[in-house]
Structure 1
């Protein structure tokens, strides 16, 4: 297990996005950091990462089921690990995930957890079947498996997927402007990018990172080393940046992308931490005073159903290839099945209530029979 910072809303410094933000007053989004807790075994199984954000309930995740996120969600005003958070991750994330993994392999619950000796980790973690060993001081960068390229490869993949998300938005959105897109790049968008990056981390890459600590288990897969994954992601990021175009993008270099990836490890100053804490407090306050959102109401589900029907009619009318259109429509119907079932379930009590209301009104307006 190892932890790392991620400045989730940061681009190469020469891009005009970063230059515009540097001139704007207030908290700088490029300094908005999350802390990730990453943990893998030598067989190449990566646990769901823990993620520490500055506030508990950001607006972008309102009405979202946090148990269904691609990360284990935690919060702290400075977005860093504490003993309480480390204990929470151990008992609520690590233990259940490992139990499930070992059960799927038919193995007994017998675990060795290797951690570094940082102050944030509690020394009183106890659980039957788990042995914890702390690496000697100042050895993390030398032998810690997560620090032997996995984390850096993940950050390279995150950077590339961030740029891909931007290019896709340019292709899909009408009247696209880069500044408006960046304003709407929320922590929810960040989680989408994290999920995409995690999908690309192969078990062969994770296995390769144990070479210095446990060389006997390494398979030396070709083409999956962390360095190869990192280099390929950096190259593709440069290509994508040039598709974006504009100042700092069209002439983006691999060296600049590497600097951006390395900058995720930069510590925040005391002033930065103060600003981050203040921003967290303001986000929580804003959340409290906003009216409650109704989420997936019956009316909104109706809008979703009608939108799907409209999309289906466009495909049927405009696509000249019948088989492709049919395949797409079948896929849409299959994907929408959950929402359709939910709509039907929610509509039943509403219909019953309407019938009761009509019955009450009719009863009240019936002429009275004379005695």
Structure 2
């Protein structure tokens, strides 16, 4: 099951890691890469890092060693069917030998979300389609979704984006990671694994009276830590017994068997776009410009829409995503049909978009995965270590988020008004009233404390 190769530490470690990041991006775009191209790129990265000897030549011998370490041998761009079938057989044996149920098998994956980008034919109404200076908006965040194979345990989404002002991250319905470029990197993933994934899995298994034993299946993308980095360290000694095992999928098998890639992430993004489009349509119904409304969408809107979308993903959808890996059912058409029902009719309500079809929608979904990484981005990611502060305070990418800090006195007044309103509504419950009273009293105590200190 140990398909992920660990690259040995060496004096050109950064060069090798940067070259692998660059290579995988080119491979994902279908660009053929030859040995001399890799050697030239290695030389370029060596100059940037100033690593090792100044006369480093990126020789054929060095390249061959690098290729063997990472199991890149004439790397195929096509899906690795043989590797998938071998992995599946071994995976079934492991589950049986360990006596695991589907409650104890987990998978996660990341996806990009161009949160303001619409399908090319749905930019705006015909009158607004090409305003001077208009460009298709490509503001992007990263989403990590994780669940078990029954769909009964969905961890809250991890959301990687820019900085917030005047909003407590703990109040958000996602695990928020501030990273200027909205990339997933190994440091963020490692912190998520130990600080969020492991505690939540242990708590869930304990709640259903299952032993602390699970398998976590992930792909071997460069943004994921190496296996030894998920099994060592002072705070991780308990994992050395192998109770919770991390297993990497073989190269080029993600499209064949990674559960989150079997229509789950697409369903998530379709539900998000449904909410975005509904908001834009409501704006036009109220006489406002769709483009103007699109400009006002901010990160906070996106967080709540994507969190709500994740809540709407049914356990049966998540369970079916494992059919290729756990069962022998290769048919995912049923899942795809579930996820295609509502978005197209909604898009066709937009003026000038009556001829939009499923291909346009699919193209938009695929654009989310076209994550451009420049050489500068790669160098920054490689130089980033565990001691870096992931909160980049010097740049706020959340434009249009005009949230102002509310004083304690203003909060008390607003909560008193909300409390009075809710108490008069027939739908109000005692829990609703008690929650508002608790927040009103808390705001009043903070107001009084602040008054005494001035």
**Pairwise same-fold verdict (TM > 0.5):** yes
Task: Pick from 30, 34, 38 the counterpart of residue 137 of structure 2.
Answer: 30
Q: Aligned-pair distance for 1:189?
A: 0.8
Q: Aligned-pair distance for 1:67?
A: 2.6
Match runs of 1:172-187 below 5 Å:
176-187=288-299
Preserved CA contact (<8 Å) 2:217 2:246: yes
Q: Judging changes above 3 Å, is the alpha-carbon distance between structure 1 residues 239 and 311 closer, same or farther for their aligned structure 2 residues?
A: farther
Q: Distance in 2 between matches of 1:98 and 1:203?
A: 17
Which moved further from structure 2: 232-241 or 199-208?
Answer: 232-241
Residue equivalent to 2:412: 301
Preserved CA contact (<8 Å) 2:143 2:159: yes
Q: Aligned-pair distance for 1:255?
A: 2.6
Match runs of 1:1-371 below 5 Å:
1-17=108-124, 23-24=132-133, 30-44=137-151, 45-53=153-161, 55=162, 57-59=163-165, 62-64=166-168, 66-123=169-226, 124-126=229-231, 127=236, 128=239, 129-168=243-282, 176-215=288-327, 227-228=333-334, 230-243=336-349, 245-248=350-353, 250-268=354-372, 270=374, 284=395, 293-295=404-406, 297-306=408-417, 309=420, 327-328=426-427, 330=428, 335-347=432-444
Q: Aligned-pair distance for 1:260?
A: 1.4
Q: Distance in 2 between matches of 1:17 and 1:43?
A: 40
Preserved CA contact (<8 Å) 1:153 1:227: no
Q: Distance in 2 between matches of 1:31 and 1:230?
A: 25
Q: Aligned-pair distance for 1:194?
A: 0.7
* Secondary structure of the corresponding residue to residue 86 of structure 1: helix
Q: Distance in 2 between matches of 1:294 and 1:75?
A: 20
Q: Distance in 2 between matches of 1:348 and 1:17?
A: 48
The structure whose residues are more often helix, as a share, is 1
Cα-to-partner distance string for 1:66-112 (whole Å, 9 max, x where unaligned)? 23423211132221111111111111221122122112112221121
Preserved CA contact (<8 Å) 1:116 1:135: yes
Preserved CA contact (<8 Å) 2:115 2:302: yes
* Secondary structure of the corresponding residue to residue 191 of structure 2: helix
Q: Judging changes above 3 Å, is the alpha-carbon distance between structure 1 residues 239 and 298 closer, same or farther for their aligned structure 2 residues?
A: same
Aligned residues: CA RMSD: 3.9
Residue equivalent to 2:38: none
**Structure 1: any 5+ residue segments left out of the alignment?**
314-325, 358-371
Residue equivalent to 1:316: none
Preserved CA contact (<8 Å) 1:6 1:34: yes
Q: Distance in 1 between matches of 2:160 and 2:260?
A: 18
Q: Judging changes above 3 Å, is the alpha-carbon distance between structure 1 residues 247 and 292 closer, same or farther for their aligned structure 2 residues?
A: closer
Q: Aligned-pair distance for 1:302?
A: 0.8
Preserved CA contact (<8 Å) 1:154 1:197: yes
Q: Judging changes above 3 Å, is the alpha-carbon distance between structure 1 residues 308 and 135 closer, same or farther for their aligned structure 2 residues?
A: same
Q: Judging changes above 3 Å, is the alpha-carbon distance between structure 1 residues 22 and 143 closer, same or farther for their aligned structure 2 residues?
A: farther
Preserved CA contact (<8 Å) 1:31 1:272: no
Q: TM-score, normalised by structure 2?
A: 0.60
* Secondary structure of the corresponding residue to residue 84 of structure 1: helix
Preserved CA contact (<8 Å) 1:154 1:198: yes
Q: How many residues align?
A: 320
**Structure 2: any 5+ residue segments left out of the alignment?**
1-107, 382-390
Preserved CA contact (<8 Å) 1:156 1:230: no
Cα-to-partner distance string for 1:212-241 (whole Å, 9 max, x where unaligned)? 21117x8x9xxxx96445434434222223
Q: Distance in 2 between matches of 1:345 and 1:211?
A: 49
Q: Judging changes above 3 Å, is the alpha-carbon distance between structure 1 residues 52 and 235 closer, same or farther for their aligned structure 2 residues?
A: same
Cα-to-partner distance string for 1:302-351 (whole Å, 9 max, x where unaligned)? 134336657988xxxxxxxxxxxx524x35x8535423333234436757
Preserved CA contact (<8 Å) 1:58 1:284: no
Q: Judging changes above 3 Å, is the alpha-carbon distance between structure 1 residues 83 and 11 closer, same or farther for their aligned structure 2 residues?
A: same
